[in-house]
Structure 1
Amino acid sequence: MMGLLGKKIRMTQLFDEKGRVIPCTIVKLGPCYVVQKKTKEKDNYCAIQLGFEEVKKVNKPMGGHFKKANLPPLRYLKEFKVDNPDGFELGKEIKIRDVFKEGDLVDVTGWTKGRGFAGGMKRWGWSGGPASHGSQSHRRIGSLGSGTDPGRPWKGRTLPGHYGCERVTVKNLRIVKIDEENHLAYISGAIPGYRNSLVIVKKAKTTSK
């Protein structure tokens, strides 16, 4: 399944033929470059490794990795499974139109905004304790256990802790518009992550819409 690496730019809105508003996320997709090929004979599976966004400095092993493909150092690398990796040349530039077209359904993967250490009400939507009548436990944990048996909180209990920075995939979003000159794709709806964060866009596995 082919896809591309990109960056979330910002949100905007477009209008369809009937004048209805379509909220969209602008994503800079590519250009990506073929850094490595994985073949059935050598690696026991077929895939190509794509690189995205040039970077100034890398360590020597990674520098040699990019040199084999005659490419400058790239910040992000990601493998995509393909049926025939021999159809891709090392160093080849892959643009939006090579993979997607307007109207395609895609699955977008990103990383949610990190919010640090958060309490249970913010992190899990707890209702909290009484707000008045002498209560001093407005946002505290409260009772967690189940009595004498098992005498401890169950595993997986929602607790305060680190909130955000999780990998999330939003499925079946539609590509409304493509700006090939600026490598931009206008994708309907919201996608996870902050501005300029990495996103992975793949063709939708299931098309329920």
Structure 2
Amino acid sequence: MLTKYLYLGFQKYNESLTRENKSFIKEVVEDKYGPQAIIGGVTTYQQSPLKNEPMEKGTWFPGVRRTGVIARKIGIYPMWMNDGTKVFSTLLQVVDNHVIRYIPPGEFEPARKPKKKIRYPNRFGCLLVGAESEDPQTFTKEYCGLFTSSGLMPKKFLGRFFVSPEAAIQPGTPLLASHFKVGQVVDIRGKTIDRGFQGVMKRWGFKGMPASHGVTKTHRRPGNIGSGGTKARVMPGTKMPGHMGNRHRILKGVEVGYTCTLRLPRMVILRINTQYNVLWVKGLAVAGGTNSICYIYDTILPFRKPTEPPPFPTFYPEDLEEPLPNDIYSGKLHRFSSPTIIFQDTK
């Protein structure tokens, strides 16, 4: 149902509105959601207060599952470790995230039911998270109704995350980049770049046929696709030409970067900017192009899960006596403000 309403959005019609009509609608929107402002480097509206009392905060324990965030991939950046090793990082900006709705475990029904029976079917609930506030005029009435209970502006992007009942968050709560900690391993889900219909050499990396010596018009063809023998058919899953990209892929913090002598996991957070809500994640393999949307959450790998309690159920700025610094670095990362070479006087 959510996907249906989302597809109906972003349709602009020529409603023949005058300047007076547009200014009146703008005043109504600002009276309901607050004036337009720039928060964390993103143009949005003033954060709406919670309509209900905040939920009671649970206690973190190993194995509990927290919510994730929606971020934009804004580029890549080289960084250096303390031992001089050069590593590349991907910059992900958490853009105007808010909790829209919480669905308890007994009421939540996934869109796709698993084929195999689950041992604990009612173990997790669901948190609906939205990102990037948008003018209500660009959406349908039904889609805007999803945000009535939380009192928030309609969001351009939505995402659902499985959470434990102890990690439930009150709708209307903002989610920041400080939801994660430096050095934490995360999983990132994104959609790969759409390449269209491609051949086997680009899609699967085939070598192709020889360029000369009697080869005619088969230089980029796959070659034989038969299995031989009495089977006499093309086996399922054979690599052939077809549509490349435009698929959701999850990059898990499983592979170790062998180019780095520190042997850090690939999807480890190296740096966090709390002013603009930007995460520096080690690696270049995040699915999607620049300015694409991705979903970040705690890793589900058993040996990469956090051993120390992260902000639970999320980061609340009011819980701190002093605000966080603008930049939080990993202890193994070299800061650009630190000296690179130190000379000592010798006699």
**Do they fold alike, i.e. is TM over 0.5?**
yes
Looking at structure 1, the residues matched to 143 and 280 of structure 2 have their Cα atoms a distance apart, in angstroms, of 33
Higher relative contact order (CA 8 A, sep 6+): 1
Contact 2:72–2:92 (CA under 8 A) maintained in structure 1 = yes
Change (3 A) 1:86 1:67: farther
SS of structure 2 residue aligned to 1:62: helix
Change (3 A) 1:46 1:78: same
After superposing on structure 2, the runs of 4+ consecutive aligned residues of structure 1 that deviate more than 4 Å are none
> Which residue, 79, 84, 96 being the options, matches 1:14?
79
Contact 1:26–1:187 (CA under 8 A) maintained in structure 2 = yes
> Which residue, 94, 100, 111 being the options, matches 1:29?
94
Matched positions, count: 208
- 1:183-204: per-residue Cα shift (whole Å, max 9, x none)? 1001011112100101111111
- 1:89-147: per-residue Cα shift (whole Å, max 9, x none)? 221111121x2011111111111111111011111122211211121121123322235
Contact 2:90–2:281 (CA under 8 A) maintained in structure 1 = yes
Contact 2:127–2:168 (CA under 8 A) maintained in structure 1 = no
Q: Which residue of 1 aligns with 2:321?
A: none
Q: Which residue of 1 aligns with 2:129?
A: 50
- Does residue 205 of structure 1 match 2:286? no
Q: Which residue of 2 aligns with 1:175?
A: 269
Q: Quick one: percent identity of the two aligned structures? A: 29
The Cα shift of 1:150 comes to 3.1
Looking at structure 1, the residues matched to 78 and 177 of structure 2 have their Cα atoms a distance apart, in angstroms, of 20
The Cα shift of 1:86 comes to 7.9
Contact 2:96–2:133 (CA under 8 A) maintained in structure 1 = no
Structure of higher CA gyration radius: 2
Q: Which residue of 1 aligns with 2:238?
A: 157
Looking at structure 2, the residues matched to 49 and 78 of structure 1 have their Cα atoms a distance apart, in angstroms, of 6
- 1:4-46: per-residue Cα shift (whole Å, max 9, x none)? 1101000001223333322110100233111111013433552
Contact 1:54–1:74 (CA under 8 A) maintained in structure 2 = yes
Q: Give the TM-score, by structure 2 length.
A: 0.56
Q: Identify which range, 84-93 or 6-15, moves more after superposition.
A: 84-93
- Does residue 110 of structure 1 match 2:175? no
The Cα shift of 1:148 comes to 6.9
Contact 1:32–1:51 (CA under 8 A) maintained in structure 2 = yes
SS of structure 2 residue aligned to 1:117: strand
Q: Counterparts in 2 of 1:11-160, with a 5 A limit?
A: 11-43=76-108, 45-56=124-135, 57-84=138-165, 87-97=168-178, 99-136=179-216, 137-147=218-228, 149-160=230-241
Looking at structure 1, the residues matched to 232 and 85 of structure 2 have their Cα atoms a distance apart, in angstroms, of 56
Q: Which amino acid aligns with 2:193?
A: K
Gaps of 5+ in 1: none
Q: Which amino acid aligns with 1:49?
A: L
Q: Which amino acid aligns with 2:82?
A: E
Contact 1:31–1:96 (CA under 8 A) maintained in structure 2 = no
Contact 1:30–1:96 (CA under 8 A) maintained in structure 2 = no
- 1:21-78: per-residue Cα shift (whole Å, max 9, x none)? 2211010023311111101343355221110112332222111111221111111111
Q: Which amino acid aligns with 1:26?
A: L
Write 1 or 2 for the structure with the bigger share of strand. 1
SS of structure 1 residue aligned to 2:69: strand
Contact 1:4–1:32 (CA under 8 A) maintained in structure 2 = yes
Looking at structure 2, the residues matched to 15 and 186 of structure 1 have their Cα atoms a distance apart, in angstroms, of 12
Q: Which residue of 1 aligns with 2:9?
A: none
Q: Identify which range, 128-137 or 182-191, moves more after superposition.
A: 128-137
Q: Which amino acid aligns with 1:25?
A: T
The Cα shift of 1:152 comes to 2.5
Looking at structure 1, the residues matched to 280 and 225 of structure 2 have their Cα atoms a distance apart, in angstroms, of 45
